[in-house]
Chains A and B, each alone.
Chain A
Amino acid sequence: MMESVDMSLRDSILAYDQFRTKYERLVEEMEPYLNDPTVAEGTKAAIRTSLNAALACGDLSMSLGLPFTFSATVLKGVAKLDKLAKWFHGPAKKDKDGKTSAIQAFDLTPHVKLRTSVFFQILELCSGGFLPMRTIEGVMQMNKDIPRVWAAYKRIREIAAAQAVIEPKVQNAIDVFSADGGTV
């Protein structure tokens, strides 16, 4: 019994090590892509689009509409307050390390003004949750985000295409280390 537990633990550690190695390799491979501002912006836009689509599905359901719209508007307000607070003591949207504040990610529709969002909220409240205003807000944001996602795909393609080409000088160097004189 004890032996099987030890084996299982060892297997788990081995599996974790393998996963970590694969993860580190993936991060290394992704680094040139994620360091690119167009790709980073497109990745954020893709995540936002997925969340907005999920919220739209919830909003289209009559019973879930109001809580979804209300929560999204409150989070948008929190993100707006964080932005205002930064305006008093530091650069807007940035934390002390100069990175974009994580609280800004609460706002899933940064291109829709807070007052528009509140107006939609009131309309939805007045209609008793019948009008899918969160969906409309999400679609307004998606109109801005989807072109960013495509732009990111195109930029990833450019970076990958540059990496896929091996210059003749480098190919000659690679051939020196191949076992049979051919490509490694």
Chain B
Amino acid sequence: MSPRDALKVLIEEVDLEPEQKKALLASLPEMDDAAVMELGTALATYRVNQAHVAQRAVSAIDGLLELEQA
């Protein structure tokens, strides 16, 4: 997968506003390689952090739900 294709996947994946997504996808062909790498790294880090936070929330709620079952 090329960085540009990977960036496209990430733009579609992260929870940006629909207008922001459209604008980013439209400007993607004009972006230079450095900008693609910079934005791609930021979005990839964001998505990984979001998954970690969500995993922690799941663990915390599982602990709470055990109380309900007890």
Q: Do chains A and B interact in one complex?
A: yes
Contact across chains for B54 and A161 when beta carbons are under 8 A apart: yes
Residue of B nearest to A179 (CB): B41
Selected interface stretch from A115-123, A135-143, A166-174: A166-174
Q: Given A153-B61, A153-B64, decide whether A174 and B48 contact each other with a Cβ distance below 8 A.
A: yes
Interface size class of A (residues with CB under 8 A): 20 to 34
Q: Which of B12-65 contact A (CB under 8 A)?
A: 13, 15, 37, 40-41, 43-45, 47-48, 50-51, 53-55, 57-58, 61-62, 64-65
Answer whether residue A150 sits at the interface, using C-beta atoms and an 8 A cutoff.
yes
Contact across chains for A157 and B65 when beta carbons are under 8 A apart: yes
| Residues of chain B contacted by A177 (CB below 8 angstroms) | 3, 6, 37, 40-41, 43-44
Answer whether residue A163 sits at the interface, using C-beta atoms and an 8 A cutoff.
yes
Contact across chains for B1 and A173 when beta carbons are under 8 A apart: yes
How many chain B residues have a CB neighbour from A under 8 Å? Answer: 30
Q: Given A29-B53, A157-B58, decide whether A184 and B48 contact each other with a Cβ distance below 8 A.
A: yes
Alpha-carbon gap, A173 to B54, bound state (A): 20
Residue of A nearest to B11 (CB): A173
Contact with B along A90-106 (1 / 0, CB 8 A): 00000000000000000
Residue of A nearest to B55 (CB): A164
Among A150, A162, A176: residue with most chain B CB under 10 A: A176
Q: Choose one: B1, B5, B54, B61; the contact of A163 (CB below 8 Å).
A: B54
